[in-house]
Structure 1
Amino acid sequence: MKNIKLIFCSLIYISSLSANASDFTLESGVMDWSHKAEKVFGKQRSENAFVKLHGYNATDFGDLYGNVLIEDPDDQEEMGIEVVLIGQINLPDSDFNAYSQVYVKNEPDWSETIVLPGVSWDKVFDNGLYFQSALALNYVIADYRGLGMSGWENGYNGLYFTLTASKDFDIFDNKFSVMWNQEQYFFRDDIYTDITGEQRSFGFNGWLVLDWHVTENFGLALSYRYSNNNMGVKGYSDGVFYSLKYKF
């Protein structure tokens, strides 16, 4: 919980910057997970309400992004918290950056903190397309208290590679944006994949998000989330999210 509090405070700081300089969004909706995900996780991945706070700030020095996701806010026994903080420091005279990400997931019976230091490349093209890729080392600090596991050792857990693309577009004077993100994990430790049930040293997960910007501040979002030997499920698993967004 100490890590979550620290990152949450960082996100509040991002929010204060974003209100003046960039982007600050509150999102709320429903996660509709597939039967396979529900079979593995039960009520933790079924039809779950969620609230998500996004903050983003870009400067000449670098970029900072964070979000706090609360799952099942209406059910204290199942409520989970996910926190992500991503930073890039621009390297001089190039599109390359020093990259870091901290991911924290806390459920009632387990928790994970993943630390990903590395390098990234990003660019906004003339047609408005934004593209980012990042390569990082993967370090895991976890507590699988509710899974009956012993012999777990925190530390290095392979490599991480991510791709992100996003673009704004108009249809009949309506403003939309689409975003795709995929994360790949390589050479993960057998102990980790056995504990999580993913059972393969390589796994990936991703998002495909379509936003309809109804007004300058209010929007609707449809998201498709998928994974393969990742997110605690062996093989392919997916879900569809429906949400409302308010941009400050």
Structure 2
Amino acid sequence: MKKFQTLAVAGAAALALSAPASAEYLYGFGSVSVNYLDWTDKTIDRNTIDGNKTKTDFLFLEAEGGAGFTWGDVYGFIDLENPFAGSDKSNSGDATRVAIKGTMGINTGIENVQFYAQNYSIMDSSGFYENNQVYGVRYNIFTESGFWMKPFIGVHYAANNFGFADWNGGMAGYVLGYDFKIGSQKFSVSQWHETEFARDDAYGENGVHESNTGHNGAVALWWHLPNNVTTGLQYRYADAKLGNAAYQDGLIYTVKYNF
């Protein structure tokens, strides 16, 4: 299983950060950011077991990027969570974690329709890990108003250190965005959302994913400042996901530099 996890993480990084040299490059973007996730008190309470807080507020550093080519597009990020955590941790939520996500859309020849693949992996210093893969199709929507949306649906594979490694129903979701101005100031709103459905009963045997359906996502407001700097406020939410059957939410404060 550890070998599978290592391969999954390596694959996600390669998927997000590389592209065939023979493909025509169309566009690209990248950023580095400092972020702080402030969970609500009720979320922390719902993730406290016998005094052990499995979720705590944390700082994380992120590098992300994407690119478009004549054959399709790639996107990915890598997060380092709790990077300055010491060795003496009173709560398991204080562990240092690494999360990596990569997505790829391959043009089908049908306008706006792509074959879609997604790989997300997270692991921490306590030995926890989970890998989620999605294989399906995506539809790309772009408008002249500045609104865009990319919905997808596919089959879902999951593996974790609790002993589950199997196909796990399906996943549907989307990313969307809208750019606008207030006076001379540039802003944008964005959202990503994922719904897992028809999950395997065995996936919830550890008692934290009792529902066969789970939701996960974030809604963000971004303020694009001069000199390639962006600040943002994100509302982070999850339901029957992230290791808990209850609803969980918090705010993420972000400052990023765009390349």
User: Is the pair's TM-score, using the shorter chain for normalization, greater than 0.5?
Assistant: yes
CA distance in 2, matches of 1:139, 1:12: 22
Distance 1:11 1:131, change over 3 A: closer
1:130 to 148, 166, 175: 148
Q: Is residue 2:98 matched to residue 1:87?
A: no
| 1:173-207 deviation line (CA, Å, top 9, x unaligned) | 10011101110010111221232602100110111
CA distance in 1, matches of 2:186, 2:219: 17
- Using the TM superposition, give the Cα deviation of residue 31 of structure 1 relative to its aligned residue in structure 2, in angstroms: 0.7
CA distance in 2, matches of 1:187, 1:38: 28
Q: How high is the TM-score relative to the length of structure 1? A: 0.89
> One-letter code of the match for 2:101?
V
Q: Which stretch shifts more, 82-91 or 207-216? A: 207-216
Q: Is residue 2:121 matched to residue 1:116?
A: no
1:177 to 165, 188, 196: 188
1:64 to 48, 55, 74: 74
Gaps of 5+ in 2: 88-94
| 1:53-80 deviation line (CA, Å, top 9, x unaligned) | 1111012210100000111001155110
Distance 1:97 1:164, change over 3 A: same
Q: Is residue 2:60 matched to residue 1:50?
A: yes
Gaps of 5+ in 1: 145-151
Distance 1:188 1:93, change over 3 A: closer
CA RMSD after TM alignment: 2.3
Q: More helix per residue: 1 or 2?
A: 1
Aligned to 1:168: 179
CA distance in 2, matches of 1:129, 1:206: 19
CA distance in 2, matches of 1:133, 1:9: 23
Aligned to 1:8: 13
2:32 to 2, 23, 26: 26
1:159/1:186 contact within 8 Å kept = yes
CA distance in 2, matches of 1:43, 1:75: 15
Distance 1:65 1:44, change over 3 A: farther
CA distance in 1, matches of 2:151, 2:250: 24
1:37/1:46 contact within 8 Å kept = no
CA distance in 2, matches of 1:8, 1:165: 23
Q: Is residue 2:212 matched to residue 1:208?
A: no
Distance 1:155 1:246, change over 3 A: same
Aligned to 1:230: 241
The percentage of counterpart residues that share the same residue type is: 24
2:26/2:68 contact within 8 Å kept = no
Displaced runs of 4 or more, over 4 A = 9-12, 41-44
SS in 1 for 2:206: helix
CA distance in 1, matches of 2:150, 2:246: 26
Aligned to 1:244: 255
